[in-house]
Amino acid sequence: MSGVAEAVFFYDPLFEQHETGFGHPERPERLPVTLNALSESGVLDSAEARQPRDATVEEIELVHTAKYIELVRRVADSGGGNLDMDTALSGASYRAALRAAGALLDSVDGCLGGDFKRSFCLVRPPGHHALPGRGMGFCLFNNIAIGARYAMSKKKLKRVMIVDWDAHHGNGTQEIFYDDPAVLYVSLHQYPHYPGTGWLDETGRGKGKGYTINFPFPAGTGEEHYTQAFERVVIPAGRRFAPELLMLSAGYDSHDGDLLCSMRLTDSSYRKLTDYLVGLADACCEGMLIATLEGGYNLEAEARSVVQTVAGMAGADVPFKDDPPRPSAYPDRAGEVIEETARQWTESA
């Protein structure tokens, strides 16, 4: 893939028109603060900015039911409303959701078409909690699942790996691919915490048994145990699976400064984890790595962490502005999670 752009990132002002209501943590301000940080860091010199297209209804139906898609459109067209107590829509939300999914589709087309190697989708609304027939957890359409299904159904890929480091378990993504051996889904998350899924025994169903890997970490888990999980399981499992495309649900509510969660990652932690994934992508799928924004509710912490992720994907160096990571609050419990997950993964080989 010589001559291919190293990385791009997708963004559209429409994403900020998805309004969630006063005081809602998943708010439009997440994106302009992050864009400003990207600009000030200089990383945009190494990662080209692009505007995505809209996904079609038929492309959304690769994952979601027609009835649910029509519900989202109807609520937005009526001026907005709530799908549940956490998941709000405004008049522009349906259009924003189509374009957010479109960023993943453009990413798949660009990576597989040889236009660029890696992309970061700076989108709203997020997606990894969305189920086929239900939105929840601030999510309307499951962007990363739509991208993965598109890659397999339209581009004929046979193996896609999704890593999810958001502090909330991606229950929607897990459920969509739970019986599918073509998708290896790996989640590292705080447990117990919303949405209550992602325990150790959730490893897949039927032909998909062994293709879901969960790390239900206790609150206060920090970089040392995330890196152990990557080194002992995530990267070896990825190499064994040999994905043709690597995808990342990049949530930053696992940051030490986040408002909703209690994990202890830092800006530099995300750069380290990104470097692991870039190395895996280089080894398995010609460097192709697609990331999409999920959670993250401390605006400055999220912005700095996105900068480090995009910098890692683009092969750029940006100085860290955070404190050194704190040790895990419950190292024995976090270690037990890694041991049990490693045991299950080894036995499924």
Torsion 267-273-278-281 (CA) sign: negative
Cα separations in angstroms, 59 against 30, 284, 294, 319: 27, 27, 20, 40
Q: Return d(Cα 185, Cα 180) in angstroms, integer.
A: 10
Block residue for tokens 């043709």: 244
**Beta strand segments in the chain, E:** 5-10, 48-50, 80-82, 88-90, 116-121, 160-164, 183-190, 212-217, 245-250, 289-293
**Is 129 one of the catalytic residues?**
yes
Inter-residue contact 216 to 199 (CB < 8 Å) = yes
Which among 18, 64, 128, 129 is annotated as catalytic? 129
- Strands 80-82 vs 88-90: parallel, antiparallel or unpaired: antiparallel
Phi, psi for residue 255 in degrees, rounded to 5: -75, 145
Please give the Cα distance from 300 to 285 (Å, whole number): 33
Q: Which residues form the catalytic set?
A: 129
